Chain A
Amino acid sequence: MTTAQPAPAPLTRPELVCPAGTPAALKSAIDAGADCVYIGFRDETNARNFPGLNFSRREMAEGIDYAHGRGAKVLVAVNTFPRAGRPEVWHQAVADCDSLKADGVILADIGLIDHAARHHPNLRLHLSVQAAASNPDAIRFYVERYGIKRVVLPRVLTVQEIAEVNSRIAPIETEVFVFGGLCVMAEGRCALSSYATGQSPNINGACSPACDVRYTETSEGITSELGGFTINKFAHTEPAGYPTLCKGRFIANDKASYLFEEPTSLNTLAILPDLIRAGVTAFKIEGRQRGRAYVSAVVQAFRDGVDAVMAGKSLPDIDLDRITEGGKQTTGAYEKAWR
């Protein structure tokens, strides 16, 4: 009896999808080796609607020119949920992506996807992580009904589960987050921030918005608040972190702890080979709110990492400690014990 193993399937090179909150970051990302950047308009139509970020129509046109001139792509996130009674702002955003010749739009809302599929049949549609399509039936719904080409998977699945999903939905493309800020709740299905502040990430495009943040100096140190609720307290010797709601310290069962998650960043550099073998089409880096230096460093690290794996070399030893949140890193839901 022969014991010959079937040859392993050839690995597909994943596309590196990188964040750009400003025209400068877009150039930095592309110069550092991004295959694709994702950006948003300067309004509530995208989930990083922060002051000083994002693109005007003119900046977007110039950014798309810069990218296309260097063989890179641009995706535009229109990934909040249009307000009842005034969908025009969101419809216009999608129309502008089409006329500006963006390589695709990243959408979360079923109604907006329906509109885009009807009115912009040549525009490539990606399903945002904010739609939280966590299983093959949900994914097929968007693909079969609306012609979605790629699904960004919610950060709830293990690598093993991602591989299973991919085997069931092939050849539909999937994209997963590989680095950056980590939602611990199923994305787009979290109203914690609006409960505290009245500003909804899904509608207004900002989680734990800066306008609702307050730092108070006390005799013991610094207290950080969101919407009037204490999110954390720091001794004078500690750096006071930003009060992202789900990364705060709370009391449950008479014990104070980081109940939901520590201040930490997703970093999958060490498990890149597993994610590539799981059949993922694209790797996404979070961080449109980050500066050029951050974007350059992370994109370069993942460019080197992906290229090494594809060349059959060992992973380069890259230290991203200095730019991760609180200096802490996690592989998050990709490992089952995280749950």
Chain B
Amino acid sequence: MTAKLTMGPVLFNWKPETLRDFYFRIADEAPVDTVHVGEVVCSKRTPFFEPYIAPVVERLQAAGKEVVLSSLALIMSEREMAAARSLASDAEVLVEANDISVAAITAGRPFVAGALLNIYNEGTLAALESMGAIRVCLPAELSGDAIAALASAAKSEIEIQAFGRLPLAISARCYAARARQLTKDACQYVCADDPDGMEVETLDEIPFLAVNGTQTMSSHYMDLLPDLVSLRARGVSRFRLWPQNVDMVAVSGLFRAVLDGRMAVAEAEDQLAGLCPGVQFANGYVHGRAGHLFVEDDE
């Protein structure tokens, strides 16, 4: 069986109509099997997209996509927990738990263990599976060897992050606000100014990180095109594409084509670079190296 593709949740603060149109186009055109919807980073953003969730889910399902509703990554208030409970009470749609509390309240029903949970070893994997995890998206920093060990132990589907800025950290503090001398409470939603994240460079002006509100991401986009086939052989059943402010229909087409053996990796790499002008790519983590590195081939 071939590997599946997942369109991860949009982590950025896009305008509600932009986000709706993104999902409509993904529904109609993108060769992905599963699409995640929902706010992961900051609960202050959630009210704006809420009116569009039902039509987006309907359109995706009508197009034959499996829909997963993603939870917040860091739940700190009763209001945020109530929203998570409401998410978890929908028996019709799978929920992705990105905070362990969401896995706990979903327990007993099938759920997706999200990329922002700490799942490093077989014991944790088994514990989450016993709670109902049917799919597990592994943390970005795992090596290929760790991924293979987990895949061989898994009863659930193993998904890994294959494209886009990597979510590296989550905080109570908003760095988009702080960069503009604002606080989170009075943030003026300035994170919306950076639909692909706010670039963070070193003092030598070397691209390093990106800020997405309370989330810190990699500057480089993860790109596992060269590793897809070998990781598939090591037991990975799904690859996740994190939406960036680029043509994600075309990006998902490249990943699909390489997985299906219809396109050479070199050709897909050339086209990906064309779709993401100015972007540096990285795959160091799966090679057991620093996350920002791009490793052509293991020596």
Interface residues of A, Cβ cutoff 8 Å to B = 81-85, 87, 108-112, 114-115, 131-138, 140-141, 156-157, 161, 164, 184-186, 188-192, 194-198, 200, 202-203, 223, 227, 229-233, 249-253, 255-257, 259-260, 333, 336-339
Contact = CB atoms under 8 A, between A and B. Distances in A.
Contacts of B150: 84
Given A196-B290, A203-B120, A137 B81 contact: yes
Given A191-B139, A192-B216, 4 more contacts: A111-B123, A112-B123, A251-B200, A339-B184
A131 B202 CA distance: 30
Contact of B166 (A191, A249, A259): A191
A179 to B, nearest CB: 19
Given A135-B101, A140-B104, A191-B139, A82 B204 contact: no
A191 B208 contact: no
B29 interface: no
B15 interface: no
A176 B68 CA distance: 35
B146 to A, nearest CB: 4
Interface of B: 73-78, 80-81, 99-101, 103-105, 116, 118, 120-128, 139-142, 145-147, 149-150, 153, 166, 168-175, 178-180, 183-185, 198-206, 208-209, 211, 216, 218, 284-285, 288-293
Nearest to B78: A164
Given A84-B142, A259-B211, A197 B173 contact: no
A295 B278 CA distance: 49
B121 A109 contact: yes
27 contacts: A84-B145, A84-B149, A109-B120, A111-B127, A133-B101, A134-B75, A135-B99, A186-B74, A189-B118, A190-B170, A190-B216, A191-B139, A195-B292, A196-B291, A198-B284, A198-B289, A202-B118, A202-B120, A227-B292, A229-B206, A229-B208, A250-B201, A256-B203, A259-B179, A260-B216, A333-B172, A339-B185
Given A133-B100, A253-B198, A202 B141 contact: yes
A138 B208 contact: no
Interface centre among B75, B149, B183, B208 (most CB of A within 10 A): B208
Contacts of A260: 171, 173, 175, 178, 216
Contact of A190 (B168, B199, B200, B203): B168
Contacts of A230: 202-204, 206
Contacts of A114: 123-124, 126-127
A133 B118 CA distance: 12
Contacts of A191: 139-141, 166, 168-169, 291
Contacts of A203: 120, 141
Contacts of A197: 290
A250 B100 contact: no
Contacts of B175: 252, 259-260
A227 B292 CA distance: 10
Contacts of B105: 137
A198 B140 CA distance: 12
A111 B126 contact: yes
B203 A192 contact: no
A206 to B, nearest CB: 14
Contact of A161 (B76, B122, B153): B76
A192 B173 contact: no
B290 A83 contact: no
Contacts of B293: 198
B171 A250 contact: no
Contacts of A132: 74
Interface centre among A189, A200, A337 (most CB of B within 10 A): A189
Given A137-B104, A233-B203, A184 B81 contact: no
Interface centre among B202, B204, B290 (most CB of A within 10 A): B202
Contacts of B122: 84-85, 87, 111
Given A192-B216, A336-B185, A200 B141 contact: yes
A131 B99 CA distance: 10
A6 to B, nearest CB: 24
Contact of A138 (B104, B146, B218): B104
Nearest to B168: A191
Ordered nearest first, which 3 A-B pairs have the shortest CB separation? A111-B123, A156-B172, A111-B124
B123 A87 contact: yes
A115 B122 CA distance: 11
Given A188-B118, A190-B169, A111 B139 contact: no
A339 B174 contact: yes
A118 to B, nearest CB: 10
A259 to B, nearest CB: 6
A202 B143 CA distance: 13
B106 to A, nearest CB: 11
Contacts of B116: 189
Contact of B74 (A82, A108, A134): A134
Given A194-B290, A195-B290, A227-B290, A250 B118 contact: no
B75 A229 contact: no
Given A111-B127, A194-B290, A138 B121 contact: no
A195 B208 CA distance: 9
A82 B104 contact: no
A333 B184 CA distance: 12
Interface centre among B100, B126, B175 (most CB of A within 10 A): B100
Contacts of A135: 75-77, 80-81, 99, 101
B251 to A, nearest CB: 22
Contacts of B139: 191
Interface centre among A115, A195, A197, A337 (most CB of B within 10 A): A195
A192 B209 contact: yes
A252 B198 contact: yes
